[in-house]
Chain A
């Protein structure tokens, strides 16, 4: 496995992604809404009753932080679907596979290209989110809520793992999907387990503390490993050329 080859493929995909306004918008929009919209909800929420109470605020902010995991689980599907099904639709896989690259290098390159932009967008969005939240809640709480351990675990562990899960799932879905839109729709289903955890946290069934985030991470690692083996098995040149079309 030569990383340089994988990077050549990733760089090409990133360049194409940068020129595709639809995909670019879908990657930017979600972090933008979350990073600005949620702090505004916190700022203006419950104003007529004196704002959100300091005892409730940490739980609300932790739950909002979870949106960055949902984003990390969803956004890579936009690029991965375009990158894989797009090649299938444009019939560019055959000449690509005829070059001296291995299936692993191609898969890694595609995965890097699908992973990097959403993670960068999530990190920038999280930075803006944390700065705005600190600005709006410092007076109420008496301290800056972010950065904290929960957000650290979310951004450095759960979000990347969720993004990897999303990329692997997209590879498997791409093998069956015949167009980019259906691949994206099916890929979007990866957010369902994360959305369920979010709902559970909102109704108080699950607390999104550091311990529970570590448990969630361990489960995602397990799913990532299973999906990695499945996607590697799916992503073989003969399979791609004879069954992906």
Chain B
């Protein structure tokens, strides 16, 4: 559904996005993670034909991003939820959606049907005649999502849809995205929220101007080596580290006074390692087993 090959954007001499290559299938929820200024919004803007690309290629369905003739067709088949909701405060909830429905050339019948459908689905139907400016942040965000869906787009781009929302509103938005997933829409989600990405996305790309890694949440976590053991010591010294390295072939990381070891089989390896540490004079405070989280993957990747 979405294809990018070496997609690049420069602002003057600064590379905002460099050589992005990825493919997103129809019906897939793809998450884009990255720090501020990583190029997430720029990528979405390029794919939505809002700004031009400097290099590379991108296609959405059969249409070429950057081709003037295809731009209108692309914009007709996509929906965008920008990071700023950008509603018309003086128009009512209904009027905001109706205006966009008209721009997308929806018939009056379809507009009315979809406005009612999405407002009811998002719990905003009671607010249909209320000025958008008087809605809460969470409601505005929901309205911005309804606006992006009014013409039933095949592809939905969402830029930080839960940023600045309280946990309850965030959950409502996340649940709604999961509902959309069931409708087989392709969703491109920019987010800072790792938990959200893990729960919602089929695949995740981590971006920092360049695409650093891409895969399912599980694949990304496994790339860090599966289950690990963290041994907290009073003090780590060279004798302890070399004693541990003698009894295990796995990688040993040192962080503060912790040893982080990818031990493989915990039942057999841990007693041996503990014995080696104690023999080397080490004093153990705690032993914890943990599985790498998406946060670990993210921090390690963007570092």
Contacts and interface: CB of A to CB of B under 8 A. Distances in A.
A95 B147 contact: yes
Contact of A90 (B51, B88, B147): B88
A242 B11 contact: yes
B102 A8 contact: yes
B230 to A, nearest CB: 44
If over half of A's interface residues share one DSSP class (helix, strand or loop), that class is named, otherwise mixed; here it is helix
B90 A237 contact: no
Nearest to A13: B88
A99 interface: yes
List 8 tightest A-B contacts by C-beta distance, closest first. Answer: A91-B84, A92-B86, A98-B80, A99-B103, A91-B86, A100-B76, A94-B82, A100-B75
Contacts of B82: 91, 94-95, 98
If over half of B's interface residues share one DSSP class (helix, strand or loop), that class is named, otherwise mixed; here it is mixed
Given A8-B99, A238-B50, A238-B52, A16 B84 contact: no
Interface string B83-118: 011111111000100011011110000000000000
A49 interface: no
Nearest to B80: A98
Contacts of A19: 90
B78 interface: yes
Contacts of A237: 50-51
Sorting the interface of chain B by its residue count into under 10, 10 to 19, 20 to 34 or 35 or more gives: 20 to 34
Nearest to A92: B86
B50 A97 contact: yes
A159 B285 CA distance: 85
B204 interface: no
Given A8-B103, A90-B89, A92-B86, A102 B72 contact: yes
B48 interface: yes
Contacts, number: 75
A33 B100 CA distance: 38
A238 B81 CA distance: 18
Interface string A102-114: 1000000000000
Contacts of B52: 238
B100 A16 contact: no
Contacts of B85: 91
A5 B103 contact: yes
Interface residues of A, number: 25
B194 to A, nearest CB: 25
A12 B88 contact: yes
A20 interface: yes
A94 B44 CA distance: 11
A194 B236 CA distance: 83
A93 B86 contact: yes
Contact of B50 (A9, A20, A94, A102): A94
B45 A241 contact: yes
A91 B45 CA distance: 14
Interface string A1-30: 000010011001001100110000000000
B260 interface: no
A202 B79 CA distance: 58
B240 interface: no
A90 B90 CA distance: 11
9 contacts: A12-B91, A16-B90, A16-B91, A90-B89, A94-B50, A95-B80, A97-B50, A99-B103, A237-B51
B154 to A, nearest CB: 14
Contact of A99 (B51, B104, B144): B104
Most chain A beta carbons < 10 A, residue from B78, B88, B144: B88
